[in-house]
Amino acid sequence: MDQITSLLKFRNPYGNQEIELQQVVYAAGGTPMMRLRIRERGARFTIFDVDPITAQHWAEAMLAWARPLAEQAAPPANEVTE
């Protein structure tokens, strides 16, 4: 039986999709995969599995894009605003 472990679950506030990241270890063996599950408006799902190298490239590209924009968009978590 495959072993599936939930890693993170959150909602995209702009499209209201439910996004879940899971680690999948297949009973047949092989490389553990990162499963991305996107639930859209009730019943529709998009699900795909990504190997560790692809996940790393994807994560690095997303961080490179998001980091400077996120820093401009919100104050640091420890900063108090009035």
Cα–Cα dist 1/69, whole Å: 42
What does the pLDDT look like over 49-78, one tens digit per residue?
A: 999 999 999 999 999 999 999 888 866 655
- Establish if 28 belongs to a structural domain: yes
- Establish if 46 belongs to a structural domain: yes
What does the pLDDT look like over 1-37, one tens digit per residue?
A: 999 999 999 999 888 999 999 999 999 999 999 999 9
- Establish if 47 belongs to a structural domain: yes
Nearest Cα neighbor of 34 from 19, 53, 51 is 51
Q: What is the pTM of this model?
A: 0.78
- Number of domains the chain contains: 1
- Establish if 78 belongs to a structural domain: no
- Establish if 81 belongs to a structural domain: no
- Establish if 45 belongs to a structural domain: yes
Radius of gyration for the alpha carbons in the chain, expressed in angstroms and rounded: 16
- Establish if 58 belongs to a structural domain: yes
What is the residue range of 40's domain?
A: 3-73
pLDDT at 81: 53
Q: Answer whether residue 80 shows pLDDT above 70.
A: no
- Establish if 80 belongs to a structural domain: no
